[in-house]
Amino acid sequence: MKTLSVVSLSLILLTISSASFSADLERYISLPSVSYHFENFNDRKAFHPGIGYEYSPDHAMGWQAALFQDSFGQDARYAGINYSSKAFPLFGFRTRVMGVLNVMQKQYLKGQDVETRIIPMPILEVKATNKLSFNVTGTPQLDYSEKHHTNGVILFQLKMAMN
């Protein structure tokens, strides 16, 4: 099943990348990511292999989808919509702020089953070169009841421009 999913996603990405788009579109192949968990770091993986597609035009709506491995090594996936700000300079880098709403299927707690949840995410996109960018995102550590606790995490996702 995993091989079929990767092959299918690769064919979709090839089709999308060869399609004719206008020059102002921001299209990316999302690549592996690295995370740092503020607690329980030793129980989680820091490197997350994966591949995906992101369409995020400046100051407009876009979408994204990907297959990856989560912090527990479980196969995971997401698809969702995004809205990107206009690019602005920050410390000499082209930067955008993105708001993302993903439907994500992954293992959220150690030893538990895979679940599907709707996850809102703020993202800071930093363009390192003409082709490479980083998405920086994360979640705060929250205690909102005796049984519910989120483990704070910061995530860095590498992506490569297709235009």
Which spans in the chain are helix H?
A: 2-18
DSSP 8-state secondary structure symbol assigned to residue 112 = S
Q: What are the structural domains of the chain?
A: 2-161 (2.40.160.20)
Contacts within 8 Å (CB) and 24+ apart, 107-110: 107/70, 107/72, 107/74, 107/76, 110/40, 110/43, 110/72
Give me the phi and psi of 136, to 5 degrees please: -115, 125
Q: Is 42 helix (H, G, I), strand (E, B) or coil?
A: helix
Each residue's pLDDT, cut to its tens digit, for the chain (163 residues) gives 555 455 455 545 444 444 444 444 589 999 989 988 877 777 788 898 999 999 999 899 999 999 999 888 889 999 999 999 999 999 999 999 999 999 999 988 788 899 999 989 899 999 999 899 999 998 765 555 566 556 678 889 999 998 7
d(CA 45, CA 148): 22
Q: What is the pTM of this model?
A: 0.77
Q: Is 9 helix (H, G, I), strand (E, B) or coil?
A: helix
